[in-house]
A and B are shown apart, each in its own frame.
Chain A
Amino acid sequence: MFVTQKNIFGAYNCFNKKIISLKYLFVEDIFYFVVLFQNQKISKVMKLTKFFSGALLIAALAFSVSACKSGPKDADIEKAVKEKLAATPDMASTAVSVKDGVVTLSGECKDDACKAGCEAAVKTVEGVKSVTNNCTVKPVVTTPPPASLTTTLDAATQQKVKDGLKDIKGVTVTFDGEKAVLAGEVSKTDRMKIMQMLSSAKVKSDVSKLMDKK
């Protein structure tokens, strides 16, 4: 006896009936369709005597399955939305979730325009029914300018720089205009100490000749 058995598809929600599985059996030249519905204990077995009518039924079912889809699935929408946002660097980090075509956006936007732009861009994605925009706008950081910027490289300031370098071996300093020009070889720790010292004395510097100790 020649028997083949195949699953056509697994769980599928269509016409409010959940079909758990749909398979067909082919016993010699007789087709059997086995349809298992979620809310029915007994599965329906359709017997089709002719191969041809079996093929027809498959075609009909396949058609109804595709007709049942009203639009792109949530996962597809999510993917499309993410792709759309990824195209704009400012929006790329926005978190996206989709449920029944409703897109929820969250995360931090650079400014209000970015937040609105994000929402507008998402609305154009196919299958999106509405957008819930939960993005927050980064608070604007406003800082006043420092009271004093640089000090002039007078004798006292030059002495300060020299004092600061006293304990750091292998570094020489010369003064060129308003900049302290440093040269020599230093370790990473000493380099940071030098920069901290220059910054606290508000002295501009040229450290291009300051090399890393090998």
Chain B
Amino acid sequence: MALQDKYAQLIQSANDMGVANLAVAEQDGVLHVSGTAKSTADYDALWGLYAQLDPNMASGDLMMNIDIKADAGAQLRVTTDSTNLNIRATPSTEGEIVGKAGHNEVVTLVEKTDDSWWKIRTADGEEGYAYAQYLSPEA
């Protein structure tokens, strides 16, 4: 239970924030935490706490599989550094590029295909798969 103690503050915070379906388990020296945060702010706060509890997140002893609540129809902001986000025909970088969403543009979630790829629709009606890492649900 040592890892649960190390990350006790994080688990407590996740509880206090009301992270949905929060689940915690320790296996083979790695603490797995999963759930759905209510907002991007909560998600960022949890990751900030992780970086604080485990400097540089270098121990490799926590797998925080937390996503942010976003149902179909939710508004997502494109959070690339500055570039456009590719919209592809299939959920892979191998997929043909069928459109682009600009940096900071707001798009609509069609479905969460998997943890990495989400199907989105832009204001211009372009629809396809984009990398979820660069999409933040709007509060």
* Chain A contact residues, CB within 8 Å of chain B: 141, 143-147, 149-150, 159-160, 162-164, 166-167, 179, 188, 191-193, 195-202, 204-208, 210, 212
Please name all residues of chain B whose beta carbon is closer than 8 Å to the beta carbon of A198 when the two chains form the complex: 63
CB atoms of A143 and B132 under 8 A apart: no
- Considering the complex, give the chain B residue whose CB is closest to the CB of A211: B56
Q: Is the Cβ of B32 less than 8 Å from the Cβ of A197?
A: no
Interface of chain A, main secondary structure: mixed
Give 18 pairs: A residue, B residue, CB < 8 Å, sorted on A: A141-B11, A141-B15, A143-B15, A145-B25, A147-B34, A163-B93, A163-B116, A167-B83, A179-B60, A188-B51, A192-B47, A199-B64, A200-B115, A201-B115, A202-B65, A204-B63, A207-B56, A207-B58
Please state if B47 and A145 are interface contacts (CB–CB under 8 Å).
no
Q: In the complex, what residue of chain B is closest to A179 when comparing beta carbons? A: B60
B residues with a Cβ closer than 8 A to A are: 11-12, 15, 22-25, 27, 30, 32-34, 47, 50-51, 56-58, 60, 63-67, 80-81, 83, 92-94, 115-116, 131-133
Contacts of B83 in A (CB 8 A): 167
* A159: contacting residue among B22, B67, B92, B133, CB under 8 A: B92
Hey, which chain B residues are within 8 Å of A164, CB to CB?
116, 131, 133
B54 to A, closest residue via Cβ: A195
User: In the complex the two chains form, what is the Cα distance from A149 to B24 in whole Å?
Assistant: 10
B65 CB to closest chain A CB, in angstroms? Answer: 5
In the complex, the answer to whether B115 meets A146 with C-beta atoms within 8 Å is no
Q: How far, in whole Å, are A200 and B24 apart by their CA atoms in the complex?
A: 15
Contacts A146-B23, A163-B92, A207-B57 hold; do A196 and B34 have CB atoms under 8 A apart?
Answer: no
Residue of A nearest to B132 (CB): A200
The reply to whether A143 and B23 form a contact with Cβ atoms under 8 Å apart is yes
User: Nearest chain B CB to A192's CB is how many angstroms away?
Assistant: 6
Asked if residues A200 and B32 are in contact (CB atoms below 8 Å), the reply is no
* Chain B residues, CB < 8 A from A163: 92-93, 116, 131
Contact B23 A150 (CB under 8 A): no
User: Contact: B27 with A149, CB < 8 Å?
Assistant: yes
| B116 contact set on A, CB distance < 8 A | 160, 163-164, 197, 200-201
Which residue in chain B gives the minimum CB-CB distance to A164? B133
Residues of A with C-beta under 8 A to B81: 167
Contact B133 A212 (CB under 8 A): no
- What CA separation (Å) do A67 and B24 show in the bound complex? 62
Q: Which residues of B contact A188 (CB under 8 A)?
A: 51
Shortest C-beta distance, A188 to chain B (Å), equals: 8
Give chain B residues whose Cβ lies under 8 Å from the Cβ of A191. 56-57
Given contacts A149-B63, A195-B50, 5 further A-B contacts (CB under 8 A): A146-B65, A163-B116, A164-B116, A200-B132, A204-B30
Point out which of A143, A192, A197 has the most chain B C-beta atoms below 10 A from its C-beta.
A143
Of the candidates B12, B25, B60, B133, the one whose C-beta lies within 8 Å of that of A200 is B133
